[in-house]
Structure 1
Amino acid sequence: MSEFTLPAKERKQEVVQSMFTSAANAYDLNNSVLSLGQHHRWKRLTIGLLDILPGHVVVDLCGGTADLSLLAAEKAAGTGLVMTVDLNLAMLRVGLSKARNRLIDGLKEKESRARPIMIQANAERIPLPDGSVDRLTVGFGLRNVTNLDTALSEIYRVLKPGGKFACLEFSHPVNALWDGLYRFYSFFILPKIGQWISRDSTGIYEYLPASIAKFPNQETFKKTIEKAGFSRVAYRNLSGGIVAIHTGEK
């Protein structure tokens, strides 16, 4: 097991933001290598569960490099609005570059896509009015907030009545043998590969598995979402529970 110590609550935001700033340019490549390309499938499934329609207002919270935003933009079409909200400016810059390239591709192919808007903001203080969002997604981001209950309360606040929320997050494998193998990979193999690819020295690829291990399991997180006011809360395990998609409605 890793000896990495998670940052104290009062320093978490500062430490985590420093890590993601350092790793931003190699973040997408590392995601593909470390997940063996599976993160693309996980993200498509997450967006598919939200039933995004043309004209919808969609928020990709903790959206980083905008993978989920770009998938949502295809569903919301030209009449919709997709907002990528993240605290880290370096990650948003990568996302903005991808969004521009995708927009150009869409124009060439004469496809109608919503154009993602990048907003630098804290997930615990979303700068949007009450009841202004049709759909909200979070991908691998809620582990990094300082206060999970506050972030979920903000998500609930900005959603319209009947609005839907989907959270894609690393979770806890359901099979004991699979769990052991996954933990070995996460704590001993993943940090070495991640650091080698990104040339990062902040410890982000040690922080990530440590934060996953501390995050609530599937059932506990389901109850936390329900406590925030959401109804019809459910989750779907993917890859044997390595990741889970939790969904809920306001």
Structure 2
Amino acid sequence: MASTATGSDKEKTVQKMFSSIARFYDLNNTLLSFGLHHRWKVRTIQIASLQTGERVADVGAGTADLSILAAHAVGEKGSVIAIDLNEPMLQIGRRKLSARRLRQTACSLGNAERLPLPDRSVDAVLTGFCMRNVSDLDQALREIHRVLKPGGRMVCLEFSTPPGPALRKLYDFYSFTLLPKIGTWVAKDHTGVYTYLPDSIRKFPDQEGLKKRMESAGFQQVAYENLTGGIVAIHTGRK
């Protein structure tokens, strides 16, 4: 994707890409992460410390993996709303939630930069592999801060930057050489999404950079935990 693309251009391009691979998204996540994405998501829910009866928003829910885990954590007295801008991805999420009979869940088509939620309406916001795809990161962070109740927390799972130079070099080789070939072949994709994805990781703020952006959006007690050598990180912050 050209660096000169406007926010609107990026949004349209990203949505076209994700629509094209929606059917293969879960399969490729498992293949390309060697199954690690399941462990990363479980750890995200552990860090979120969700309580029975809480109201949770999963922003950029995609195919609803985090929403499923969150629904089990908050129980039938709680609620989870899965929000995503991409209808084909959300349709898969709806089917997964319905198959598990998680009646405390709902799905909503919505933009992370304009969340369809009232002020101070949720106890926690989860987001997994979404923030690097938004057009305006700072606006998305402000929106998440807006919808959280006082004392509520944001938990963000996102690809990041391995601090070790050896792992970073190996990760770059995998991301820019092997991942595009494998992902494109499995998904039979012609949009270039598996070239865009590693490029989006490189352009996204590193661990300290995202921490500062969250603090600028109003979050307090911002911290992060590296997983798999810093290939991914989980950031947390409180309103």
Scaled by the length of structure 1, the TM-score of the pair is 0.93
Find the counterpart in structure 2 of residue 115 from structure 1: 104
Cα gap change, 1:58/1:114 in structure 2, threshold over 3 Å: closer, same or farther? farther
Partners of 2:73 and 2:46 in 1: CA distance? 9
Aligned to 1:64, the other structure's residue is in SS state coil
Task: Determine the structure 1 residue equivalent to 2:21.
Answer: 23
CA deviation after TM superposition for structure 1 residue 100, in Å: 1.1
1:78 aligns with 2:88: no
Q: 1:7/1:55 Cα in 2 relative to 1: closer, same or farther (>3 Å)? A: farther
The answer on whether the counterparts of 1:6 and 1:211 sit within 8 Å (CA) in structure 2 is: no
Aligned to 1:96: 94
Post-superposition offset of 1:54: 1.1
Alpha-carbon spacing, 1:117–1:135, altered in 2? closer, same or farther (3 Å)? same
Q: CA offsets per residue over residues 88-145 of structure 1, 9 Å max, x none?
A: 0000001011111111xxxxxxxxx553211001100001110000010000001111
Give the Cα–Cα distance (whole angstroms) in 2 for the partners of residues 30 and 171 of structure 1.
19
Unpaired stretches in structure 1, ≥5 consecutive residues: 104-112
Q: C-alpha separation between the residues in 2 aligned to 1:129 and 1:148?
A: 20
- Of residues 123, 134, 155, the one that matches 1:145 is 134
2:34 is aligned, of 33, 36, 53, to 36
Assess, with a 3 A threshold, how the Cα gap between structure 1 residues 155 and 23 changes in structure 2: closer, same or farther: same
How far apart, in 2, do the equivalents of 1:47 and 1:247 lie? 11
Q: Percent identity?
A: 53
- 1:24 deviation in Å? 0.4
SS of residue in 1 equivalent to 2:100: helix
Q: Does 1:8 find its partner at 2:1?
A: no
1:125-136 pair list within 5 angstroms: 125-136=114-125
Counterparts of 1:50-65 in structure 2 under 5 Å?
50-65=48-63
Alignment-derived partner of residue 237 in structure 2 = 248
Contact map agreement 2:84 2:109 (CA 8 A) in 1? yes
Give the counterpart letter for 1:77 in structure 2: G
Deviations 1:135-161 (A, max 9, x none): 100000011111001000000000000
Residue type of the alignment partner of 1:119: S
Q: Any gaps of 5 or more consecutive residues in structure 2?
A: none
Map of 1:168-247 to 2, 5 A cutoff? 168-247=157-236
CA 75–7 in structure 1, closer or farther in 2 if over 3 Å, else same: farther
AA matched with 1:14: K
Question: Secondary structure of 1:162's partner?
Answer: strand
CA RMSD of aligned residues (A): 1.0
Distance 1:70 1:46 in 2: 12
1:114 and 1:123 map into 2 onto residues whose CA distance is 23
Contact 2:223 2:236 in 1 (8 A): yes
Amino acid at match of 1:241: G
Distance 1:47 1:86 in 2: 19
- Paired amino acid for 2:84: D
Q: 1:98 to 1:6 in 2, by over 3 A?
A: farther
CA distance in structure 1 between the partners assigned to 2:100 and 2:104 by the alignment? 9
Q: Is the 8 A contact 2:161 2:168 kept in 1?
A: yes
What TM-score do you get using the length of structure 2 for normalisation? 0.97
Q: Is the Cα–Cα contact under 8 Å of residues 81 and 108 in structure 2 kept in the other structure?
A: yes
* 8 Å contact kept, 2:77–2:104: no
* Counterpart Cα distance in 1 of 2:173 and 2:103: 41
For residues 109 and 151 of structure 2, what CA distance do their matches in structure 1 show? Answer: 26
Distance, in Å, in 1 between the alignment partners of 2:100 and 2:32 is 24
